[in-house]
Amino acid sequence: MAEVFERLKQPAVVGEILAGVIIGPSLLGWVEPSELLGIIAEIGVIFLLFMVGLETKPQDIIRVGKRAFLVGTLGVIFPFVAGYGIAMWWDGSFVEAMFIGAALVATSVGITARVLGSMGLLDRETSRIILGAAVIDDILGLIILSVVSGLGTGSVDVTAVLKTAGLAIAFTVVVGLFGSRIMTWLAPRIDGLRVNKPFFNIGIILCLGLSVVSIYFGVAAIIGAFLAGMAMAEATENNPKVHQLTSGVTEFLVPFFLVNIGMQLNLSVFRDTNVVVLAIIITVAAVITKFIGGGLGVLGMSKREIAQVGVGMIPRGEVGIVVAQIGLGMGVISQPFFASVLFMAVATTLIAPPLIKIFFAEDTDKDGIMDEFEEHDVSDEYSRIG
């Protein structure tokens, strides 16, 4: 399916997600979502964000920090308000509306990172803004989810929410600011280790270790993996072997993550016309609010760059699904709302990659022209003309 979509000049990501829909319970029923597949999928997206981190230096994120903060903040406020409003308008309860708002909040940066990485555009300023905003997005989404989950149980522990938020912010800032310096200082010592491929081994330990630590601090595992990669970025700058080995692991595991998203979609619930209408309304709101919120955060940049950031923040992926599952497990979300959020999560994940490819196409065209120019031996051409 990835090959088919590449030949159609569409991102392979879309084909891999649709493969999950086809082989999953909705159509052929060859594979059922399971805990094992879920674990492999999560490890896949952890390695994907670690790979993205390896391509991102801390200074690059700090440089776009103000814009990333605005994009992340506005990209949370607009979707939450829209989700809450739609649920209340559709006769949902207050708690149900809060959960729908929370499900629309968090961006699945794994999808955007996968597309930008395959296009070789992770070094773009807009890409860095998207990645920085996704970290802020995740922390704000965590705070909202903590409050909403508390409402679902009937009470909100303000102290616990503030503690979680404080730990999450402190962890992100400390690792982001000092991780790179520590790893650069340790680089000569790592290089002196006798084990085979020491930088890669240390990188794996750091990636999985910070993923676990980030969960204890209340942040998603993928943020810990991204910060681990960013900490290793400068230390491995002149060590391409680390990137090659990490890329090999990532290419094997990431399709599990994408296919698993597709398998979550149960098409049978859409036999009810009302559910279809609700799902479409929520999906349209999810796309528009992220696009507007992300775009407003980078006002002053060119129209094309504003659009790039807007579409980069659209996919919800597994994040929206997890929030909806929490609400369903607590018994505060009805099946129609759950099905609609599930549809929105998969639909935004499918919609975003083609849009990213369209709006970033001019950048890849410029790169192609420059690469061709740089590879062209001007001296030989001059001699031939002479």
| Residue type, position 124, single letter | R
Least confidently predicted of 82-96, 195-209, 371-385: 371-385
Q: Classify residue 92 by its DSSP letter.
A: -
Q: How many CB atoms lie within 10 A of CB 48?
A: 28
Higher model confidence: residue 231 or residue 237? Answer: 231
SS3 176: helix
**Domain 13-374, CATH number (from 3.40.50.970, 1.10.3720.10, 3.40.50.300, 1.20.1530.20):** 1.20.1530.20
Total length of the chain:
386
Does residue 377 register a pLDDT over 70?
no
Average confidence score pLDDT of the chain: 79
d(CA 24, CA 261): 10
301: which strand partners? Answer: 299
Listed ranges 82-86, 142-146, 153-157, 220-224; the one with the highest mean pLDDT: 82-86
Distance from the Cα of residue 159 to its chain's centroid: 29
249-254 long-range contacts, Cβ below 8 Å, gap at least 24?
249/47, 250/44, 250/47, 250/48, 250/50, 250/51, 253/40, 253/43, 253/44, 253/47, 253/48, 254/44, 254/45, 254/47, 254/48, 254/114
Does residue 258 register a pLDDT over 50?
yes
The answer to whether the beta carbons of residues 193 and 182 sit under 8 Å apart is no
pTM above 0.85, yes or no: no
Task: Give per-residue pLDDT as tens, 262-286.
Answer: 887 777 777 878 888 988 999 999 9
Q: Classify residue 151 by its DSSP letter.
A: H
Residues 298, 302, 306, CA angle at the centre, nearest 5°? Answer: 45
d(CA 139, CA 142): 5
* The token pair that represents 50 in the structure block: 């670690």
Residue ranges of domains in the chain = 13-374
d(CA 88, CA 28): 36
The answer to whether the beta carbons of residues 94 and 30 sit under 8 Å apart is no
Q: Classify residue 32 by its DSSP letter.
A: -
- The pLDDT-based confidence of 383 (bands split at 50, 70, 90) is very low
165-171 long-range contacts, Cβ below 8 Å, gap at least 24?
165/139, 165/218, 167/217, 167/218, 168/139, 168/142, 168/143, 168/217, 168/218, 168/219, 169/139, 170/217, 171/213, 171/214, 171/217, 171/219
